[in-house]
Structure 1
Amino acid sequence: MNPTPPEALRPLLAQADVLDHDASLAAQVVPALGRSGVLRVGVPREHGGDGGTTGDALETIASVAAHSLTAAFVFWGQRASIEYLLQSPNAALRALWLPRLLAGEVAGATGLSNAMKFLSGLEALQVQATPEPRPSGAALHRLDGQVPWATNLRPQGFLLAVAVERRDGGPAFIAALPSDRAGLQRSDDLDLIALRGSNTASVRLTRLTLGEADLIASDARAWLPAVRPAFLALQCGLSVGLARASLAAARAQGGPARSVLREPLARVEHGLAEAVAGLKQGLQTGQFAAQPVPLFEHRIALAHLALAAVQLELQASGGRAYHRDAPLGFARRWREAAFLPIVTPSLTQLQAELDKRAAALARDRAAVPAEISGA
């Protein structure tokens, strides 16, 4: 499956270079995604979606990424935020925000990258809650901290998901913070070398008031493993779409490079098809919730395949790739590819987690003979 973006989205995707270079079109991305209907793919019909699977949503993100990684990155942030509400036990919160997210009326900013690293023991949570009981007995928290990097912080309005550590020792939780909540301050856009139309910035929280109605999940450690498969698999759509675009561009080039690169192109195409098939199968079976290692491996493999595809596009294009007036899109795809290894969780963070799990497994295996002999 290799879908094309809907017609309604193509005028925006035709401005891929502008979306990459500056923020002049940033305000248009989320509304365009909403109008096109792509945000409803893989969302159950009873929740306002078009039905289908997470694999269908992955393919839809990939179809956008083949034209603009900036638009696809915003798409991923919006769709991940939608997924959080779909998997939240807080029905009232879902009813309040999900229709607006699906329609592209408000941006969904997924600030849970820190949480995913926290789940793997790679990083402490950067937002803390101080409980302040009210006379009514209802729980109230004051939040302080920061989200150093989040995409889709649309100045016209966003809903930010954050993981919060409780200073009273209770379980960490996941909260939804509207952008107009007192105590929330958005920074200027980060000075990125690419993807500058993605409304990527940081957020500072200072004594922000939070109630039970704002909770996505009351126990982060119990909830995050269930949402992580969609979070990472949808993120993989960025690599899949970019890889397909570069492979197609390389195939379209003529000259002597075409025959020389035939076998390397075939290898990358085959690897890409296998990785996507494996990713979809793991999503379908639910394997990744209990066994995240294959999911991590797919994320790493797909990013490397995208990097290899861009290298092959460069070799196939030759010197033309360095002409600024050449309508190849190569320079943009080169910058986009440089982003894939550092999208949180980054490839180094994922590899560190795989190494840690492998070392723990080796220790467990080594301990078995000693236990048996001492029995």
Structure 2
Amino acid sequence: MALNKQLLAQIIEEKLKPLVKKVDEQAHYAESYILALGEAGFFQSANKDQSSLLVDEATVVRETAKVCMTTAFCVWCHLAALTYLRNSDNPFLKNDVLPQLENGVKLGATGLSNAMKYYSGLEKLHLTAEKTEAGYIINGTLPAVSNLGKRHYFGAIATIDTREVMVLVSTNASGLEMTERLGFIGVNGSATYTCKFENVLIPNDFVISEDAKAFCDIIRPTFIYYQVPLGAGVIAAAADGIEKVKAKQNGCNDFLKVQATELRSHHERIEAELTQLASNLTLKDVVNTRLQAVHDTLAAVQANMIHNGAAGYVAGSVPSRKLREAYFFANLTPTVRHLEKIKSNFT
């Protein structure tokens, strides 16, 4: 079934656009918007091949990011959780929990920032696990997990003996202490929390994989793929921003080197690469696309600021918000330096 772009645009218009300034300036979490997407069927994987699923869900991220990349980031967090369950061999997670996440009953988050860095040799693993008959007892602290609330699940990886286990954690789990994190220059509305585990029991039914390292190798390309449209959406928004002020100061902006047409060509290239990747998704190719998308996004928001002049420098302006969103995109795991290290493995 083809993506209903008209319905998506309607939900964005009604459920997201009125909240954007509140998200950016008051750290409002647009949970109702993400739930509305689920209820409308935008996270359904049934009767879709892998290529169509990737393209359709990337479209949802991109269209959301055009309006609010903070909320698009939350959508990406949810898609990451869906990716975990879709690839798990655990029948309970696939048959009972996954439908709730796809239908907008529950929401999901990633929780793998630390683990992804661990597997690239950048950090130590923050969580430990102890095997019991009932499941795994988890201890430790994850510094930042986004897109969390009362009806949420998130993935987590903990070390046990000589291996790692990946589990799905309910935010209502006993022994889990969540402390909200604010004070960022952007994405404060991303519902980000420090998660402290004190003897948190994860039942066997909520084990995603007994071999987390091998599982991460499987899901990492999709994990990164869904990030790329975050940048694509911001680039498209920056191009629109430049178009809106092209007549400013008697058309003086025409003399600037970077114009909207260049930004749109970058956007079109990213979209073409996403379509191609959906049919043949490899880590090498998606890392290259993601890395180039970061640089294109940073250049786009800078051009948008210059075209808007002093108006873009005013607190609360759209160009300044896009600028801050782009810097977050550059620092989203895997960050630029992390991506460069991964890329070095292919040369």
Using the size of structure 2 for normalisation, the TM-score is: 0.89
Decide whether the 8 Å contact of 2:144 with 2:181 is kept in 1: no
Per-residue deviation, 1:110: 0.8
Taking the aligned partners of 1:223 and 1:152, their CA distance within structure 2 comes to 22
The superposition leaves residues 139-158 of structure 1 with CA deviations (integer Å, 9 ceiling, x where unpaired) of 6322111111111111x221
Taking the aligned partners of 2:145 and 2:261, their CA distance within structure 1 comes to 36
Q: 1:311 — aligned with what?
A: 302
The superposition leaves residues 74-125 of structure 1 with CA deviations (integer Å, 9 ceiling, x where unpaired) of 1111111111111111121122211221232222011012222223232222
Question: Relative to structure 1, is the Cα distance of residues 83 and 20 closer, same or farther in structure 2, using a 3 angstrom cutoff?
Answer: same
1:37 aligns with one of 34, 37, 41: 41
Q: 1:12 — aligned with what?
A: 15
Taking the aligned partners of 1:298 and 1:210, their CA distance within structure 2 comes to 36
Give the counterpart letter for 2:76 in structure 1: W
1:300 equivalent to 2:303? Answer no
Question: Relative to structure 1, is the Cα distance of residues 338 and 51 closer, same or farther in structure 2, using a 3 angstrom cutoff?
Answer: closer
Taking the aligned partners of 2:31 and 2:181, their CA distance within structure 1 comes to 13
Taking the aligned partners of 2:36 and 2:310, their CA distance within structure 1 comes to 36
2:175 aligns with one of 176, 179, 183: 183
Taking the aligned partners of 1:184 and 1:263, their CA distance within structure 2 comes to 49
Give the counterpart letter for 2:146 in structure 1: T
Q: 2:232 — aligned with what?
A: 240
Question: Does the residue aligned with 1:273 lie in a helix, a strand or coil?
Answer: helix
Taking the aligned partners of 1:192 and 1:338, their CA distance within structure 2 comes to 11
Q: 2:330 — aligned with what?
A: 341
The superposition leaves residues 122-173 of structure 1 with CA deviations (integer Å, 9 ceiling, x where unpaired) of 22221111223x4xxxx6322111111111111x22111001111x22x212
Question: Does the residue aligned with 2:199 lie in a helix, a strand or coil?
Answer: strand
Decide whether the 8 Å contact of 1:251 with 1:258 is kept in 2: no
Taking the aligned partners of 1:295 and 1:187, their CA distance within structure 2 comes to 33
**Paired residues, what number?**
340
Question: Relative to structure 1, is the Cα distance of residues 268 and 104 closer, same or farther in structure 2, using a 3 angstrom cutoff?
Answer: same
List aligned pairs for 1:1-375, cutoff 5 A. Answer: 5-14=8-17, 15-40=19-44, 43-45=45-47, 52-132=52-132, 134=133, 140-154=135-149, 156-166=150-160, 168-169=161-162, 171-253=163-245, 254-255=247-248, 256-261=251-256, 264-286=259-281, 288=282, 292-324=283-315, 329-355=318-344, 357=345
Aligned-pair identity in percent equals 25
Taking the aligned partners of 2:275 and 2:51, their CA distance within structure 1 comes to 16
Question: Does the residue aligned with 1:172 lie in a helix, a strand or coil?
Answer: strand
Give the counterpart letter for 1:44 in structure 2: A
Per-residue deviation, 1:50: 12
Per-residue deviation, 1:194: 1.9
Give the counterpart letter for 2:291 in structure 1: I
Taking the aligned partners of 2:225 and 2:181, their CA distance within structure 1 comes to 26
Give the counterpart letter for 1:348 in structure 2: R
Decide whether the 8 Å contact of 2:11 with 2:33 is kept in 1: no
Question: Relative to structure 1, is the Cα distance of residues 93 and 235 closer, same or farther in structure 2, using a 3 angstrom cutoff?
Answer: same
Taking the aligned partners of 1:75 and 1:52, their CA distance within structure 2 comes to 18
Question: Relative to structure 1, is the Cα distance of residues 278 and 31 closer, same or farther in structure 2, using a 3 angstrom cutoff?
Answer: closer
Per-residue deviation, 1:324: 4.9
Question: Relative to structure 1, is the Cα distance of residues 348 and 92 closer, same or farther in structure 2, using a 3 angstrom cutoff?
Answer: same
Give the counterpart letter for 2:47 in structure 1: R
The superposition leaves residues 214-246 of structure 1 with CA deviations (integer Å, 9 ceiling, x where unpaired) of 111111121112211211111111111011100
Question: Does the residue aligned with 2:174 lie in a helix, a strand or coil?
Answer: coil
Question: Relative to structure 1, is the Cα distance of residues 103 and 23 closer, same or farther in structure 2, using a 3 angstrom cutoff?
Answer: farther
Give the counterpart letter for 1:346 in structure 2: T
Gaps of 5+ in 2: none
Give the counterpart letter for 2:265 in structure 1: H
Decide whether the 8 Å contact of 1:39 with 1:75 is kept in 2: no
Per-residue deviation, 1:53: 2.5
Q: 1:371 — aligned with what?
A: none
Taking the aligned partners of 2:46 and 2:258, their CA distance within structure 1 comes to 41
Taking the aligned partners of 2:314 and 2:63, their CA distance within structure 1 comes to 26
Using the size of structure 1 for normalisation, the TM-score is: 0.83
Decide whether the 8 Å contact of 1:229 with 1:283 is kept in 2: no
Decide whether the 8 Å contact of 1:6 with 1:36 is kept in 2: no
Decide whether the 8 Å contact of 2:180 with 2:191 is kept in 1: no
Question: Does the residue aligned with 2:62 lie in a helix, a strand or coil?
Answer: helix
Taking the aligned partners of 1:120 and 1:281, their CA distance within structure 2 comes to 26
